[in-house]
Structures are given as C-alpha cells and as structure tokens.
Amino acid sequence: MVTLTYPERIAPKGSKIKYPEVKVTWYDGGLQPAKPAGWPAGKDMNNGGGAVLFHGSKDTLVCGCYGRDPWLLSGRVPVVPKTERRVEGGKHEMDWVRACKESPETRVKTKSDFSESGPFNEMVVMGVLAVRLQGLNKELEWNGEKMEFTNIGAEDSVRLTISDNFTIVDGDPKFNRPNVKLNAKQFAAEMVRHTYRPGFTLPEMPV
C-alpha cells in the first residue's frame, strides 16, 4: 500500500476550479481498502481486475478497473454529459497509430496523450520506488522537476533479496535468502533513469 500526497496547487489563470491537497492511496498484491459506510452488502469491490474510490465532499464515486461501470455510493444516478471523443473500439494504441499517420497540421490529439499519460506514469513509478525503498522506513519527498527524491541521504542504504533458493529437506521447506546492500540514493536514481546496455539508447524527452 502506497500513499501519494499532492500539495495544494495554484489554479490556472481564469479558472474557477480549486486545486486542494489530494491524497491517492494505491493498493496492490490483493490488498483492498476498507469499504466505506453504506457499501452494499455482499458486493465485490473488484470489477474487471480492480476498483477506484473517489471520496468527495457530497458523495463517493466508485468505478471498476480503467473507469468501468461508474456508480455513486448514495444510490443517486450520476448525470454526466458526454463531452469527450470516444476512441473507436476502445483501443488507445490504435488511436496513437492513427495520430502518428496524420499530418501535424490537421492531426486530432489522442485521448491518452503523453501530456497526461506521462505524469500518470510518473506517479506509478513513484509508487513502485516507494515499495522498493520501504526499508528506509520514512516518508519520501519527490521533486518532479528534477525527477529525484530529495530526502534520501548519501549514506542511506537498502537491502534487496536476490534469490529464495527454495529447497525441501526431509519434507520440510527451507529457504536461503541471500541479499545485497545497495546505496539507496544511487539505486533510486538508476530506477528513474536506467543505464542502458551499449546499443540501447533513448532520445532526450521534450520538456
């Protein structure tokens, strides 16, 4: 379980929408959040491989994996006008292929554009890193512009298990779990910006 806390943000000029602090709690490995008060008895939270709970000031919005089957905990029927273009067949990868083939002058922007999916991926990678660095036993602070954690010390280290070496001796399961000690700051930096083998390179990403 990982909790990501986004501080209050300044709304774009002319916007009437407020951007207060937001907490996102990510559960994995079969873990689930506590069901909120009023949850229908016997209803499975898992829908299509996952679920999302949006806790608002007036209601709780619930949906399955990838936003499927949204519903309100109060029982009210959400009335939401369809304002966004639908991706034909629901295949976002083909929407991207379509955009690649179109002329830049007349190209229709993809519905899963990198301007949105990039920051989303950053959030997911932060969650993975938080799990890998949980041995530090502290809340990690992230600088998005520099793409690095700011409160991992130069002397901090983590231990990683590299093998189980599972065997059965006289019917009794045995484990030999050797681990390695790594510099946490260097380990995190390598996870964020991987050092590719010779022959594998990526172009500089646009700012």
pLDDT of residue 50: 92
Q: CA 36, CA 55: separation in Å to the nearest integer?
A: 9
Q: What is the pLDDT of residue 90?
A: 74
pLDDT recorded at residue 207: 65
Residue 169 vs residues 109, 164, 166, 175, 176: alpha-carbon distances, Å: 60, 15, 10, 10, 12
Residue ranges of the domains in the chain? 2-72, 83-112, 114-192
CA-to-CA distance for 154 and 131, rounded, in angstroms?
19
Tens digits of residue pLDDT in 2-32: 999 989 988 888 888 888 999 999 998 889 9
Per residue in 38-62, pLDDT (tens digit) is 999 999 999 999 999 999 999 999 9
Q: What is the pLDDT of residues 140-199, one digit of tens each?
A: 999 988 989 999 999 999 998 877 788 999 999 988 888 889 999 999 999 888 887 787
Does residue 63 or residue 116 have the better pLDDT? 63
Tell me the pLDDT band of 66, cut-offs 50, 70 and 90: confident
Using CA atoms, how far apart are residues 165 and 189, in angstroms rounded to an integer? 29
Per-residue pLDDT of 70-85, as tens digits, reads: 999 999 998 888 888 8
Alpha helix ranges (H) inside the chain? 92-101, 114-132, 184-192
Q: What is the pLDDT of residue 86?
A: 87
pLDDT surpassing 70 at residue 123: yes
What would the pLDDT profile of 153-164 be if each residue is shown by its tens digit?
Answer: 999 999 988 777
Q: How many other CB atoms are found less than 10 A from the CB of residue 110? A: 21
Q: What is the structure's pLDDT at 183?
A: 96
Asked if pLDDT for residue 36 goes beyond 90, the answer is yes
